[in-house]
Amino acid sequence: MIEKDSKIYIAGHRGMVGSAIWRALEKKGYGNLIGKTSGELDLRNQNAVSEFFSKETPEIVIDAAARVGGILANNTYPYPFLMENLQIQNNLIDAAHKYEAEKFIFLGSSCIYPKLSPQPIKEDYLLTSSLEPTNEWYAIAKIAGVKACEAIRKQYDKDFVSLMPTNLYGPYDNFDLKTSHVLPAMLRKFHEAKENEHADVVLWGSGTPLREFLHVDDMADAVAFTLEEKLPGHLYNVGTGSDLSIKDLAELIQKIVGHKGKIVWDSSKPDGTPRKLMDVSKMESLGWKAGIGLEEGIRDTYRWFVNN
């Protein structure tokens, strides 16, 4: 049993996912949470991470720290997306193992699965064929993290588990048009176009790819569930189990924002993977299910964006 005063270290506690996990655990009464900013602890530095663990000896470690970005950022900066993510997670996993953490929850991404996976994507499809080329650097790093946790579980019988969320969005998301993911980028584009006399909005690709979106508070709830249960396997998908086209997403965001201009699709830009729907039956069979609807979640995120 995890106690309410168990020492829980949330790596990346200032990011969208980490801050949502922090809020969710506080709400559940966990009172011994630890977080360090990147200025206080550089997770790429093995010695610094080891020193931190030897001093703090957290009982539970939740790895929500990563270098993240959309297609453009992944494609433009392949080396840091590969190397920095490897450094961060290797240092955390190894230190958690070395300093006897009872539980480690590793957060990855649905991009670990092959580009042309059968749909919906089951956990078993990992490493069955080639990745989406535009973000394979990030995906390879995350696959290494999944395998490291699986190896520790197999060799030492420790409770190291990996959760693979679908596309996340919500408060504290990254709304920078050069490095953000599709949903926050669209929110910002439609908002700015509305402010600019409802100017046309140009969006990448054809609008036909299908995507699934999960509110970050649902993700945090899945982490809390994993914290309080001993899951029998090492890898679990976390999502809603339903998707929509990028075109439908754009029209939904346009409606929520109140933009009256035109949407222009730039088909010279890449679409990425045609479809990425997660099979979430493993998590659902254990008793966890997403609870926030997409329209409700986007309205909540848009309010946060406007206020911040």
Question: Which parts are annotated binding residues for substrate?
Answer: 189, 204, 211, 271
* Calpha distance 4→39 (Å, rounded): 28
Q: Which amino acid is at 160?
A: F
- Known binding positions: 12-18, 107-110, 142, 165-168, 181, 189, 204, 211, 271
Contact (CB, 8 A) for 252 and 294: yes
Residue type, 274: P
How far is residue 136's CA from residue 121's CA, in Å, rounded to a whole number? Answer: 17
List 9, 138, 169, 302, catalytic entry: 138
The rounded distance, in Å, linking the Cα atoms of 256 and 230 is 40
Sequence ranges of the binding site for NADP(+): 12-18, 107-110, 142, 165-168, 181
What gap in Å lies between CA 221 and CA 238, rounded to an integer?
A: 10
Q: Which residue has the tokens 């997409």?
A: 294
138 is catalytic: yes
Neighbours of 129 (CB within 10 A): 10
The residues annotated as belonging to the active site are 138
